[in-house]
Structure 1
C-alpha cells in the first residue's frame, strides 16, 4: 500500500487526476531549485521523482512524470531553470528526463512490493531506481550527444552521486514521517 492510498482510501478517477496534476506541479517547482552545470544541471528533480514514486505507487507515479514531461514539452516552464519546450526531450538531458518515468515507476513498484515503511526500506526503494537513472542518462550522452563513456560518466553521473544519496535519505525520512503522522492521526 502506498502512502497516498492509506491517506485517501479508494481513489476515484478525479482524485487520481488531482494527484497527477499536484505531483507534476510539485515536480515542476522542485526543478527550479538548481545548481547550473553543463551538460546536465543539478536540481531537486530527482527528489521530486523519488517522492512521487514513494507516495503514489508505480502506475500513478509514471503517469505523473509523463504529465510533467508533457507540460514542459507544451511550453510550461517546468524544466530546470524554468526552461520549456519539446527540444528538451531530445537534447542533452533527454536520457535523464525519459529515465525519470522509469525511475518513478520502479520506485513505486518497490513500494508496492513491501518497501513502503521504515527508513531503510524506503531508502532502498529510492536508491535503487535513482542509481539506475544513470543508465539512460549516461547512455544518451554517449549515443546521442557524442561523448565517450568516461566523459559521459564524469559529466552525467559522478557529480550527482552524493547529492542523489542525500535526496534519497531526505525522501525516505519524509515518507517515513508521513506514515507516522498518518498513524498518529488515526489513533
Structure 2
C-alpha cells in the first residue's frame, strides 16, 4: 500500500484524477525552481517525481508524468522557465522529459515491492531511478546537440549527481515523515 492509498482509501476515478492534477501542479511548480545551466537547467522536478513515485505507486505515478508531458506538449508553460510546446520538448532536455515517466514508474514499482517504509529503503527507491534517468537524459542530449559522449555526460549528468543524492534524501525524509504522521492518526 502506498502512502496516498493509505491516506486516501478507495480507488475512485475522481480520487485518481485529483491526485494526477495535484502531481502535475507540483511538477509545474518544481520546474520553475530552476538554476540556469547550459544546456540542461537544474530544477526540482526530480524531487517532485521522487515524491510522486514514492507516494502514488507505479501506475498512478507514470500516468501523472504522462499527463504532465501532455500539458507541456499542448503548450502549457509547465516546463522550466515557463517553457511549453513540442519545440521545447525536442530540445536538449528531451531525454530527461521522456525519462521522467520511467523514473516515476520505477520509483513507484520499488515502493510496491517493499521499499515503502524506512529511510534507507525509501532513499534507494528514490535514488536508483534518479540515477537511471541519466541514461535517457544523456542519450537525448547527445542526439539533439551532437555532443560527444564525454561532453554529454559532463553536461547532462556530472553536475546533477550531488543534487540527486540530496533530492533522494529529502524525498525519503518527507515520505517517512508522512508515514509517521499517518500512523499517529
Please confirm whether the aligned pair reaches a TM-score higher than 0.5, indicating the same fold: yes
Q: What is the Cα deviation at residue 108 of structure 1?
A: 0.2
1:15 aligns with 2:30: no
Q: Segments of 4+ in structure 1 off by > 3 A?
A: none
- Report what 1:44 is aligned to: 44
For residues 82 and 183 of structure 1, the distance between their equivalents in structure 2, rounded to whole angstroms, comes to: 38
- Report what 1:178 is aligned to: 178
Q: What is the Cα deviation at residue 145 of structure 1?
A: 2.1
Q: TM-score, normalised by structure 2?
A: 0.98
For residues 77 and 146 of structure 1, the distance between their equivalents in structure 2, rounded to whole angstroms, comes to: 27
Q: Is there any run of 5+ residues in structure 2 with no aligned partner, and where? A: none
Q: What is the Cα deviation at residue 143 of structure 1?
A: 2.5
- Report what 1:73 is aligned to: 73
Q: TM-score, normalised by structure 1?
A: 0.97
For residues 138 and 101 of structure 2, the distance between their equivalents in structure 1, rounded to whole angstroms, comes to: 16
1:145 aligns with 2:145: yes
The total of aligned residue pairs comes to 185
> RMSD of aligned C-alpha atoms?
0.7
Q: What is the Cα deviation at residue 66 of structure 1?
A: 0.8
- Report what 2:33 is aligned to: 33
- Report what 1:134 is aligned to: 134
**SS in structure 2 at match of 1:10:** coil
**SS in structure 1 at match of 2:129:** helix
Q: What is the Cα deviation at residue 142 of structure 1?
A: 1.7
> Which of 67-76 and 154-163 deviates more?
67-76
**SS in structure 2 at match of 1:144:** helix
For residues 61 and 74 of structure 1, the distance between their equivalents in structure 2, rounded to whole angstroms, comes to: 20
